[in-house]
Structure 1
């Protein structure tokens, strides 16, 4: 029996509404809230939340001397199409050059690393 249930994954960022909008375009769902805390209710019931963090410094990737803390793996049907979309939405490629792999690494507009992973 579990002690707890996952409520939300929360990303610190400089602009919660803008980053929630980016992930809403990528994952679908509804953006709720304003100000220092914004929720994205994604299909399937999970929540991704965004919290204003004054002085936010994005993680460095890859940087053995600075942990990235965590990253999101987003499963997609078509890596090329998904890549085109996230880049158009403002993502930056971090490690997307090796087309033989089943994943590619990007940074969201606030600098958090995430991977697009082939199903």
Structure 2
């Protein structure tokens, strides 16, 4: 095992509105403080009572999926929490992932594509402070 599923991230034009929509469907808490990420006008979360955290990421000029039109496919990505970003990087590349964005030094996440081209992120697990 390389990482833990932290959340499923959906692209959207208005993160808080979409989080509230899913809150009405699933219950849970919108934008609950969580050490794994910061909340801002471009990022919102829903912590449902069951299942994984859903996160909503603002995408300027968002074009919704055109179900079932493959020219505008479904849009989401997974965030996988890892203890050692460099070791996880090596492992996912060995498994066939492609690095899309290494980020700057010190940034706690990197973006990859799975073998079919779907993006996912490796995110350094936040350590509790003593």
Q: Normalising to structure 2: TM-score of the pair?
A: 0.48
Give the Cα–Cα distance (whole angstroms) in 1 for the partners of residues 56 and 15 of structure 2: 5
Check whether the contact 1:17–1:34 (CA below 8 A) recurs between aligned residues. no
Residue among 46, 54, 73 paired with 1:67: 73
Deviation at 1:34, TM superposition (A): 4.4
Deviation at 1:3, TM superposition (A): 1.2
How many residues in Structure 1 have an aligned counterpart in Structure 2? 69
Check whether the contact 1:11–1:49 (CA below 8 A) recurs between aligned residues. yes
Aligned pairs for 1:87-106 within 5 A = none
Residue among 47, 53, 58 paired with 1:52: 58
What residue ranges of structure 1 are gaps of 5+ in the alignment? 71-119
CA RMSD of aligned residues (A): 1.7
Give the Cα–Cα distance (whole angstroms) in 1 for the partners of residues 22 and 59 of structure 2: 18
**2:46 match:** 40
Deviation at 1:31, TM superposition (A): 0.2
Deviation at 1:12, TM superposition (A): 0.8
Greater RCO (Cα-Cα under 8 Å, separation 6 or more): 2
What residue ranges of structure 2 are gaps of 5+ in the alignment? 32-38, 77-130
Moved over 3 A (4+): none
Q: Which has the larger radius of gyration?
A: 2
Q: Deviations over 1:61-111 (max 9, x none)?
A: 1114443356xxxxxxxxxxxxxxxxxxxxxxxxxxxxxxxxxxxxxxxxx
Counterpart secondary structure, 1:7: strand
Give the Cα–Cα distance (whole angstroms) in 2 for the partners of residues 18 and 69 of structure 1: 17
